[in-house]
Structure 1
Amino acid sequence: MLDVKKIRNQFEEVSRLLKQRGVEQEQLDNFLKLDKKRRELLPQVEEKKKTRNTLSEKVANLKKNNQDAKENIEKNKKLNIEITTIEQKLDQVNEQLNEILVRLPNLPHDSVPFGEDEGENVEIRRWEEHPVFNFEPLNHWEIGEKLDILDFERASKVTGSRFVYYKNWGARLERAVYNFMLDVHVNEDSYEEMITPYIVNSKSMFGTGQFPKFKEDVFQLKDSNYTLIPTAEVTLTNYYSNEILNENDLPIYMTALSPCFRSEAGSAGRDTRGLIRMHQFHKVEMVKYATEDTSYEELEKLTRNGEDILKKLDLPYRTITLCTGDMGFSAAKTYDIEVWMPAQKTYREISSCSNCTDFQARRAKIRYRNKNGKIKFAHTLNGSGLAVGRTVAAILENYQNEDGSVTIPEVLRPYMNGAAVIPN
């Protein structure tokens, strides 16, 4: 959530930045108008309450001295009606203000390129050459079905589309991938491993910015305040909600493996086959809490943590900076890491690493006390380290062999009892 004072005091600059993120000027002008109205009503109601208190004291003294207080009592009744009327107007204005405020996205950082959609994202680096095959590479779902390690058909029968059974070597590979990721993040990158709830309340969804704007993207439990998590970002970021940390304890690093549940609303016809766009998938999440002075440095480290997993797996990737029109709602700056998929002859997103600055912290009331004793909002960061299913897909495609088998990346072999190949 944005700072109201900043919107008010730097209105032209905030308007310029939010326009880059698709916010209409009319919405911002309306916000400014409502904010002005609110600041006009507040002193009115406070002044009338002050007058009422003075009259109440006067009435009490008159009664104490057995004097007639009828006139002042009538004045007080009139004041009560006036106060109630103003407070009702104030409540209405506050509700309209909040309705706009909670739907305004974060302000983009100065280094974020301006653009309307993913076509204007900027590539900043690549790693490793694409593998060269002397045969036509298969898609990962074809490999998985031929090896009988992925079963989409029975998952569709049991649940529906965009679900999968991992079988035998497929299940072992998935487990090896996420255990490897967790070990790297914990043992090499100094993250604290967590196992979090997989169901959260609406307040937590609001805290990280999923609610109220993106309710159609999640699975809510009927007749309850609960939602299945779309990512462990929600549970890890809200861990310190409504708390005040000490600056000396920052930065804080957390990582967690969790299932993620997404309705994929609006994705009809996109990635209907394979592991790229599922309703349920595993992801290893990285979350950081930092100060305002260090958060962009921490973003670079966070992104490198995700990239290092791909390097260790020897999977070609590129890293791009998302433009203003492609960034997530809560992000001030985002790097996407995209892995090479040989069968599709393209890069596909496998991690999104974002600095949300104080945007989520304002919503979730995550603060810290600095060295001077001043209370400030923390900066929160999150990234995938990595999306597990997409990593499995990338391994199957990049490590496939002409005889139909799949070579297991060296770093995963200790997690698979030393096996070097998934046999055909």
Structure 2
Amino acid sequence: MNDTNEKVATLLLVDDEPSILSSLRRVLRPAGYAVRTAESGAAGLALLEQEPVDLVVSDMRMPEMDGAKFLEQVRKRWPDTMRILLTGYADVNSTIDAINRGEIYRYVSKPWDDNDLLLVVRDALETARLRSENARLLALTQAQNEELKDLNGHLEDKVRQRTAEIEQINSFLNLANDKLKQNFLVSIKMFSNLMELRGGAMAGHSRRVADLSRRLAARLGVPTKEQQDIFFAALLHDIGKIGFPDSLLARPVSRMSGDELGRYRRHTISGESALMPLDELKEVSLIVRAHHERFDGQGFPDGLQGLGIPFGARILAVVNDYDSLQIGTLAEKRMGPDEAKTMVAKSRGKRYDPQVVDTFIELLGGLAHEVVRERAVSYPDLKVGMVLARDLVSRDGVLLLAADFVLDVSLIKQIQDYARRENHAITVYIRTDKGRE
């Protein structure tokens, strides 16, 4: 499992039943992990004080100190240690308490499936590695900025402004649904920008697919809440590829070997697993899992067919392939927009839902002729319900909000706070009506 130069991950298993500990050890030790065990929460804390541990797996029901209290202490004292909870079906309230107090990565129901447990542990350790790497890169960037400050007395202010701008951009990911805000930020902050940072053909792909998917969903009459789920799923549809090497990301599907194709086909399941801990994103995770299913039943991972495929996944499949054909990740030859549109149309009723394809072609044909009537509004005069006529960008050209976004109280406040902090008198272009040329 590990390269010779790679640090062996240390796991701590905590359960008051020796038989459970023995079963867990038998599953995890052959995978190459260094396994430590403790038969109580107190014993687990004592062990953590003596040596570093990468991941803790704790049972919920234990005498004296249950799993919720134990994992809460682990979070407070060793926040970088990943936390997984073992729980029975009868422990729903206790599990929710553990999630809230211990901020666990995942919970695993007993009896567990060995392969599922190994996958959860692997994903948790990979998440921790990505966090650590992100922190290292951020620290490196800050150190380099400090060195450059001696060459330019004003650079410190520029770095501060840039950092504030990045924070503001992240805050704009907090969309209209209040209940989703915190969960959305928790999941997106770690993952949404990681694929973009890989560069190459992936840069901008998710944002383009998300914007066009939302337009298509609206044209198809999808309810607002489901439009939002489709938009989120489009932003997150490639998170299962985070662990892919650069060589695999850059290789078109048509040129992948058998092993590579097998790994590629599992990315939808990995993407679903990454979103499963968030109950509010349950529908989003189902769309992510199914966005490579085909209308004729020849897709993956489940071979769903026709109307058995979630409607959001049928929408995302069309838009994702349309963009992928143009950036060269689906076929070896990069296509122009018209050629990609033709390829999508040829697969109507085979790969794609005919209704979705017909509406998509209509949408693409209409975009070039649509005339958006607009008026300029100063940022202090923004009102709830206004719709953006143009993309809202920062002074450095970074996208803050895409055109057609409907403003709510939270978004208006963020725009106004950004303008005041940056001393930037933003002019926002708002739709008045639409015409046709």
Q: Could you state the TM-score of these two structures normalised by the residue count of structure 2?
A: 0.21
Question: Which gives a bigger RCO, structure 1 or 2 (Cα 8 Å, sep 6+)?
Answer: 1
Where is the strand percentage greater, Structure 1 or Structure 2? 1
